[in-house]
Structure 1
Amino acid sequence: MSVQPQPWPQPDPQIAAAIRAMYQGKREAPLAVQVRDRLGELFPDAAFADAFGRAGKPGWSPGRLALVTVLQKAANLTDRQAADEVRENLAWKYALGLSLEDPGFDHSVLSEFRSRVVTHELEERALDLLLERLRELGLVDAGGGQRTDSTHIVAAVRDLNRLELAGESVRAALNALAAACPDWVEQVLVVEDWSRRYADRIDTWRLPTSKTKQDALALDYAKDGYTLLQAVYAHGSPAWLRELPAVQSLRIVLVQNYTRTTAGNGHIRVKRRERAEDGGDGLPPGPIRLASPYDTDARWSAKQDMFWNGYKLHVSETCHPQADGDRPARPNIITNVATTASTLPDSKALEAIHQALQRRRLLPARHYLDSGYPSAELIVGSAKTYGIALITPVLLDTSRQAKAQEGFAADDFTIDWDNQQAVCPAGKTSATWTPNIQNGVPKTVVTFAALDCIPCPFKEQCTSSRKNRRQLSLYPRELTEAIRDARNRQQTGTWQRDYALRAGVEGTIRQATHTTGLRRARYRGLPKTHLDHTTSATALNLIRLHSWWNGHPLDRVSHSHLARLQLSIAA
């Protein structure tokens, strides 16, 4: 398929006349019509031309396919429904510049378009183009405030326990081999025997209830898996079979869940891995442990009382303080979405978010975050590197004294960095000042003399150490002062009123999950899932612009009739 970038055709005169007749007066034109009228050719073909060849059969305009994909997410449609809208909906024909007789395209074109976009790493192109257009219109810019929060995304695969994962991995490899090279499978394996166990999904039949039988079945799956891999890696087997993704997934699942040793008599012993505190032959850590043979990017993760298999989504948007009832000068616009592994801590995602905002020239001056994002290094580093002030509650002192709010916490000590000493609240000066490395982080250990601490009348309020002396572990000066300053500021009413602006991002996440169905991934793999998220963010921005253009408040929270009655009574 080839693409020769061309300007979008102007709306067909017949369709434009029909649109004007239908939406004249006070009736508001649909989203698709207003997007074309106000934003013009939003996604030019040239921006997606790299994903298509220069020779061959001409394909559908990639820029217009990008708009179809965004409108599809705004209406939460399937590919088949979106293709029907292109053929039947006058508003969509108007936005795409199609004639009344245009037959549109087959729905499979959308799937192929997404695959090409992912293959050529253009997942963020549509969002980038929209944000650049809004920058030109003055609707979004660098500086000001932005807020970010994360939410869980459930992968588009079934949840499998360890036993089901082992069996399903063997089944997936068998099916992949049978599809890729059926003659080889027929020659090497007794198809009837393997089909008896692996023809149907493992989770469709009842597994044994006793642990003894489950362990025996797990070992059977492992032996079958090793037998299959041995056949694939045999000298006479085609080498390319080893590169099949399902075969590689099976190999990883076996390594992560089983050990195989050879005894002195040559007998091979297979054993299930179990959790081991000493790390010997134990299960691998969560970030690298496969959860499904069909989506090797999905991971099991837990957050408080939530446990899910999938990904994590970080949403960033602009935010503007406003008085009640006032129409905002600019709408809140989603400026970035980041899709990460579910096991990645929020603090590890913040640097990539700032880099993406810098690339779009949309870095905020104030970034509102919850307590899962900040660290002393990020607070200082964000200000130095990007000029961003992180407005976020930092974790309070976790020492015994601070938790009990009795006695002397670390913040009660005066640190004299120049003279490398600390002074306790009782006026005693530290005895030692020892820089070292703790868990890869440079710190300074400050110790007071036992001769000063033992007779001190405040000893019970200060330390319960068996060495009868107080000890402090300090970050470098810049980080320590930043943390202390942040802790002091977040106790003030002014800071708390300012920080209340962050709560609005939770409504944005709710709008994203309910309007575009983001809670459950539609596709498998991190790249395609991220494309779905950036397309959804682009669609949500258009929905917000449509509301703002027409002077409507963006109600991101839906209420039941009972809840509305309660709100009216309270008012």
Structure 2
Amino acid sequence: MEQCREGGWLKAHGRQRTDSTHILAKIRSLSRTLRVAQTMVYVLNVLSEVTPGWIRAHVPVEWVERYGQRLEEERLPKEEQERTQYANQVGTDGWMLLDALQSPCVPDWMRTLPAVTTLRTIWEQQFEAQEQGGQWRKEPVLPAAQLVTSPYDLDARNGKKRSTFWTGYKVHFTQTCDEDAPQLITAVQTTAAPLSDEGIISAIHADLAEKELLPDQHLVDSGYVTIANLVQSQSDHEVDLVGPTLKTHWYQAETGYDLTHFSIDWEAETVTCPQGRTSSSWTPIQEANKSLIKVKFSINDCKVCPSRTLCTGTPRRSMTLHPKEQMQALFAAREREHTAAFKETYRHRAGIEGVHSQGVRTMELRRSRYIGLRKTHLAHVAIAAAMNLVQLTRLPEGRSTRASPYFSFQAGDEASSLRESF
């Protein structure tokens, strides 16, 4: 990137685009039942290597049949009741092993083995506490972002995006997309699979700011565009976040009085409805670490309103507002979406799909080659650097996409000279 900057191919400001794609971890996807059983296999294998004498003295012989062979989903019980009994048996075995490791005669290094720590973590997530019986939970109590999905990769998580389910990670590539310059990847973020796109925008902008490569316009899809991101991008980094905003799913949005039909007086802290009635309450609240405003209208006004069916299905209309700056940013973004200038600018975002396709088809981006988030991220940085080199070799040919063998042959001499100079 430093050489690209020196060569004049990479500059700050301008336009950049970001999108994400799913990454499969270098492990099997495991069901909850197979996960706990495989964890027992894992910890017993580790203990057998580092302290075989202790294993012979403390592990029941029947465990050989239960955990001595490779476990497969097809071999587990199919009926729910039998499956629960099997999971509870595995849970009992795990608690017994953990209790044995807490014996005073067990050295500290055995208790703190990573495999033992992993066993304890997964048991706490999948089973009730020992004081409460230690039985199999019907559902984990933690969100997907915190649940360990495999004892072999503690960073991999289960993710879902529309109809796609996977175990692993998510990678975000940010790329320049100015028409008069090569399209180069400027930032790479690798996250856990369940982390939403909206939560990574601040990290991307901080990374670009550190490199002095912040764009003037940042093109993203609707998953990145939130009220908070619209305001924060502009206020913290003077970056115009460009993308379609998520639409509301209230029935008023299509056939009745949605929020755009109401007039908000921020100084007087009142809202006026399309029929001219003023709100009866304005209450600032904190909800999910967000500052919001709850607005309600009078029941007496709403129940006699001739347009009530267009406005609310309850005795009175209520609404939730964000702070003034955020609401104004949202209204401005939605208004801009309907302009020709927005369509002309936003068409440049589509090219980021080709970046993912190139990485998947030519550089094995889809599946991680390594265990863990840090190594997986390092591989993504290497892939991004490789894709940038491919872009630079196409500069003499005046193109940024793949070409036919004949075209590449004719332009081969100029491309070779650039590769040697770089």
TM-score surpassing 0.5? yes
Change (3 A) 1:262 1:408: closer
Instruction: Give 1:305's aligned residue.
Output: 163
C-alpha distance in 1, partners of 2:394/2:134? 62
Q: How many positions carry a matched residue from both structures?
A: 405
1:166 aligns with one of 36, 52, 74: 36
Q: Counterpart of 2:214?
A: 363
Runs of 4+ in structure 1 deviating by more than 4 angstroms, as ranges, are 260-263
Q: Distance in 1 between matches of 2:82 and 2:228?
A: 51
Alignment partner, residue 138 of structure 2: 274
Q: Percent identity?
A: 37
In the alignment, what sits opposite 2:95? 226
2:225 counterpart residue number: 374
* 2:410 matched residue in structure 1: none
Q: Secondary structure at the match of 1:272?
A: coil
1:228 Cα deviation after fit: 1.8
The whole-number CA distance in structure 1 between the counterparts of 2:58 and 2:298 is: 76
Q: Secondary structure at the match of 1:309?
A: strand
- Between 1:200-209 and 1:284-293, the stretch displaced more is 200-209
What's 1:216 paired with?
85
Give yes or no for the alignment of 1:259 onto 2:108: no
Q: Distance in 2 between matches of 1:414 and 1:480?
A: 12
- State the match for 2:408 in structure 1: none
Distance 1:449 1:221, change over 3 A: closer
1:344 aligned onto 2:201: no
Q: Deviations over 1:13-52 (max 9, x none)?
A: xxxxxxxxxxxxxxxxxxxxxxxxxxxxxxxxxxxxxxxx
Letter in 2 for 1:537: A
Q: Does 1:243 align with 2:92?
A: no
Matched, 1:513 2:360: yes
Q: 2:275 aligns with which of 410, 426, 441?
A: 426
1:195 to 64, 69, 76: 64
- For 2:335, the equivalent position in structure 1 comes to 488
SS of 1:534 mapped into structure 2: helix
Please report how far the alpha carbon of residue 359 of structure 1 lies from its aligned counterpart in structure 2 after TM superposition.
Answer: 1.1
Say yes or no: does 1:500 pair with 2:370: no
Q: Quote the Cα distance in structure 1 between the aligned partners of 2:64 and 2:155.
A: 28
Q: What residue in structure 2 maps to residue 461 of structure 1?
A: 310
The match for 2:287 is 438
Distance 1:220 1:184, change over 3 A: same
Q: Secondary structure at the match of 2:191?
A: strand
Shift of 1:286: 1.0
Q: Partners in 1 of 2:75 and 2:300 — Cα distance?
A: 70
Superposition deviation, residue 186 in structure 1: 3.4
Equivalent residue number for residue 142 of structure 2: 284
CA deviation string 1:326-373 (max 9, x = no partner): xxx321000111100001111111111111111111111100010001
| Residues 255-291 of structure 1: CA deviation (Å, up to 9, x unaligned) | 111125559xxxxx4421013xxxxxx5422111111
1:482 Cα deviation after fit? 0.7
- The corresponding residue for 1:65 is none
CA distance in 2, matches of 1:440, 1:396: 22
Deviates more, 1:350-359 or 1:209-218: 209-218
Secondary structure of 1:259's partner? coil
SS in 2 for 1:202: coil
Does the CA contact (< 8 Å) of 1:168 and 1:202 recur in 2?
yes
Measured at CA, do residues 229 and 153 of structure 1 come closer, stay the same or move farther in structure 2, by a change above 3 Å? same
- Counterpart among 23, 45, 49 of residue 153 in structure 1: 23
SS in 2 for 1:271: coil
Once the two structures are TM-superposed, the CA of residue 544 in structure 1 deviates from its matched residue by 1.1
Cα distance between partner residues in 1 of 2:83 and 2:277 = 64
Q: Distance in 2 between matches of 1:150 and 1:556?
A: 26
Contact 1:397 1:410 in 2 (8 A): no
Tell me if the contact between 1:318 and 1:332 (Cα under 8 Å) persists in the aligned partners. Answer: yes
- 1:315 maps to amino acid: F
1:414 aligned residue:
263
Q: Give the C-alpha shift of residue 193 in structure 1.
A: 4.1
* Letter of the 2:155 counterpart: D
Distance in 2 of aligned mates of 1:465 and 1:213: 47
How far apart are the structure 2 equivalents of 1:163 and 1:147?
41
CA distance 1:150–1:196, change in 2 (3 Å): same
Alpha-carbon deviation of 1:552?
A: 4.5
C-alpha change, 1:194 and 1:433, in structure 2 (3 Å) is closer
1:194 and 1:460 map into 2 onto residues whose CA distance is 66
Following superposition, the deviation at residue 550 of structure 1 comes to 4.1
Asked if 2 retains the 8 angstrom alpha-carbon contact of 1:168 and 1:293, the reply is yes
SS at the partner of 2:394? helix
Query: 5 Å matches for 1:170-181?
Result: 170-181=40-51
Counterpart of 1:396 in structure 2 is 247
Partner Cα separation in structure 2 for residue 556 and residue 312 of structure 1: 29
SS of residue matched to 1:383: helix
Farther-moved stretch of structure 1 (175-184 vs 533-542): 175-184
Is the 2:279–2:296 contact (alpha carbons within 8 Å) kept by the matching residues of 1? yes
The counterpart of 1:385, out of the listed 215, 221, 236, is: 236
Q: TM-score, normalised by structure 1?
A: 0.67
1:231 CA drift (Å): 2.1
Q: Which residue of 2 aligns with 1:548?
A: 395
Residue-by-residue CA offset, 1:468-504 (whole Å, 9 max, x unaligned): x332321111111111111111022321222111111
Match of 1:120 in 2: none
Distance in 2 separating the partners of 1:255 and 1:133? 50
1:370-409 Cα offsets, whole Å, 9 max, x none, are 000111111011100001000011112332210xx22211
In the TM superposition, residue 244 of structure 1 has moved relative to its aligned partner by 1.7
Measured against aligned partners, the alpha-carbon deviations of 1:397-449 in whole angstroms (never above 9, x if no partner) come to 332210xx222111111112122222222233333333222333222223333
Does 1:142 find its partner at 2:6? no
**TM-score, reference length from structure 2:** 0.90
**Any stretches of 5+ residues in structure 1 without a counterpart?**
1-130, 264-268, 276-281, 322-328, 558-571
The 1-side partners of 2:74 and 2:89 are apart by: 16
Instruction: Report the CA distance shift for 1:234/1:256 in structure 2 as closer, same or farther (over 3 A).
Output: same
CA distance in 1, matches of 2:249, 2:78: 44
Q: Could you tell me which of 333, 350, 354 is aligned with 2:205?
A: 354
Which residue identity lines up with residue 539 of structure 1 in the other structure? A
Q: CA RMSD in A?
A: 2.2
SS at match of 2:390: helix
Partner Cα distance (1:397, 1:189) in 2: 58
Task: Quote the Cα distance in structure 2 between the aligned partners of 1:196 and 1:456.
Answer: 73
Q: Is the 8 A contact 2:147 2:157 kept in 1?
A: yes
| 1:539 partner SS | helix
